[in-house]
Amino acid sequence: MPGGPAMSGEGIGASAPKSKAAGIAMTAFAAFGGILFGYDTGTISGIIQMDDWLRTFGVPTSDTTTYPLGYYLPSSRESLVVSILSAGTFFGALFGAPAADILGRRIGIMVSCLVFSLGVALQTGSHDLATFVVGRVFAGLGVGLVSTLIPMYQSECSPKWIRGAVVSGYQWAITIGLLLASVVNNATKDRQDHSAWQISISIQFIWAFILCVGMAYLPESPRWLIKKGKDKAAAKALSRLTSLDPTDPEVETELNDIRVALKEEQQMGESSYLDCFRPGHNKIILRTLSGIFIQAWQQLTGINFIFYYGTTFFTNAGIKNPFLISVATNIVNVFMTLPGMWGIERFGRRSLLLWGAAIMCICEYLVAIIGVTISVDDTSGQKGLIALVCIYIAAFASTWGPIAWVITGEIFPLNIRAKAMSLSVASNWLWNFGIGYATPYLVNTGPGNAGLGVKVFFIWGSTCAGCLIFTYFCIPETKGLSLEQVDLLYQNSTPITSAKYRRELVAQDLHFSDVKGAPETRHDDKASTEKV
């Protein structure tokens, strides 16, 4: 709501005990960027239903029976306003690669906040649709940059034993942003002047300011600094993340491990986007395609249908206060992400993805079946639909929501990480744009529309079945592995056999430097659970 495994060494904080909270707190703060993503995504569904916004940007109509306000939003305008943000985020995600490699992960995030703020300013001050749409594009560019850079920064800087939960915090922040958007929209919806929607939009300045200022005090990724030859700065950054002295032998050993893997990758030459699809023993093409498709499938679960068009959908379904239902579904989304953050390290990535896809598939088929067999006046039936939608959201929030970002942050070598992650996140936003653009035409009635209504859930149920099949054949189990151990996992197993090989890696505590050789050797009595 968004690092990689072939990273050399045992990872950040290998020697620091679990009680060392400084590094965890710093990398967890970066997840705040998810609020930019979630709030901007969630606010638009309510804004396009507000009276003053419709009077300002809608189309006048004489059909006051259907549209009592005298204004309405045609499907063409609705799809443009909602989906254009995702078009901007698509390009922002692609720009995330050069931003990450040239500016660095930390500075790149700060620049993203400035781009995002420009978009917010344009939307807040707009009085015509063209300016509003341009503002949505710039906000999208900022969100796209953030969604690439933050999971990358977190994966490169967080400890192994809690990396999944830390990166999942990004998705949790997205859900919090969605909830905040629905609460603010519900509070301002009855205002009859521009402040109804300008307040909702301008609050985003606060989120961007907090993230930008906070990142100014956080360390840069030690791995990026090593890649740029800034060894002293890397030692200082690593010492902050591990609460160890920069001259501590453990800090230097970890930096040496990073250099080993980076040197091996660089011997193959400077990486390009084509290298992201290179076949070989390291299965780079499988990993890149897995990252691209897991982000695509996450969008194809249909979750953004609820958060983009939920207010409109619940209105058409006969719900009397769709804004409150939107708040309720967002509360479910926020609080059900928490068990997912815990379960990702308890039960693993692969198993939760499989169970989540199965539950979502069942719920969405039931919504579609019940929805076509009851009338809008059937109160108990409508409550049943809301309950099933909430169960579906709970399943998404605790599985596919956070885990897709964790997987994307764990499956790419350092030399191609920025490029491969940008491709994966761009896939998320490309499908986000496509779904956001097509949905009004699928569900609305009238000329040029399919008029599916609730039947659209048959589509989402089928795509969730596709999520289950994809996970079974393409996603390995990476729970509890260091970043370089995931590289060994890809080299020596398949997704189906990965659980067994993962247990062997953990039991033997085998690492990249053990296989390839490191500049220094050491004896480490730390428990494998303390390594990253």
265-268 contacts at long range (C-beta below 8 A, 24 or more positions apart): 265/6, 265/413, 265/414, 265/415, 265/416, 266/415, 268/415
Q: What are phi and psi of 444, to 5 degrees?
A: -75, 160
Q: Which residue has the tokens 């048959």?
A: 458
Cβ(388)–Cβ(367) below 8 Å: yes
Kindly state the average pLDDT of the residues 108-132: 93
Q: What is the pLDDT of residues 82-100, one digit of tens each?
A: 888 888 889 999 998 899 8
Q: What is the pLDDT of residues 461-504, one digit of tens each?
A: 999 999 999 999 999 998 877 766 788 888 888 999 988 888 88
pLDDT at 160 over 80: no
Count CB neighbours of 217 within 10 A.
9
Would you state the pLDDT for residue 202?
94
Which of 2-6, 155-159, 233-237, 513-517 has maximum average pLDDT?
Answer: 233-237
**What are the angstrom distances between the C-alpha of 360 and each of 175, 384, 405?**
18, 15, 18
pLDDT at 435 over 90: no
Higher pLDDT: 13 or 426? It is 426
Higher pLDDT: 8 or 391? It is 391
Higher pLDDT: 506 or 338? It is 338
Q: What is the pLDDT of residues 298-312, one digit of tens each?
A: 999 988 777 666 666
Would you state the pLDDT for residue 23?
67
Higher pLDDT: 267 or 524? It is 267
**What are the angstrom distances between the C-alpha of 421 and each of 78, 424, 428?**
30, 5, 11
pLDDT at 525 over 90: no
Would you state the pLDDT for residue 306?
76
- Cβ partners under 8 Å of residue 514, min gap 6: none
Cβ(470)–Cβ(297) below 8 Å: yes
Could you give the CA distance from residue 142 to residue 116 in angstroms, rounded to a whole number? Answer: 4
Cβ(165)–Cβ(345) below 8 Å: yes
Would you state the pLDDT for residue 516?
57
**Mean pLDDT across the chain, nearest whole number?**
82
Which of 200-204, 243-247, 417-421 has maximum average pLDDT?
Answer: 200-204
Global pTM reads: 0.76
Lowest mean pLDDT among 12-16, 356-360, 510-514: 12-16
- Residue 281, burial from CB neighbour count under 10 angstroms (0-12, 13-18, 19+): exposed
- What is the percent of the chain where pLDDT is above 70? 85
Could you give the CA distance from residue 415 to residue 7 in angstroms, rounded to a whole number? Answer: 9
Which of 426, 367, 431, 373 shows the shortest CA–CA distance to 393? 367
Would you state the pLDDT for residue 261?
67
Higher pLDDT: 234 or 323? It is 234
Would you state the pLDDT for residue 265?
66
Domains and CATH numbers, the chain: 19-218+269-475 (1.20.1250.20)
Lowest mean pLDDT among 133-137, 275-279, 443-447, 456-460: 443-447
Q: What is the pLDDT of residues 18-54, one digit of tens each?
A: 445 666 777 788 888 889 888 987 788 788 888 888 8
- Dihedral sign for Cα atoms in the order 199, 29, 236, 155: negative
Q: What is the pLDDT of residues 350-378, one digit of tens each?
A: 999 999 999 999 999 998 898 888 876 77
Q: Please report which confidence band the pLDDT of residue 2 belongs to, taking 50, 70 and 90 as the band edges.
A: very low
pLDDT at 252 over 50: yes
Lowest mean pLDDT among 240-254, 329-343, 483-497: 240-254
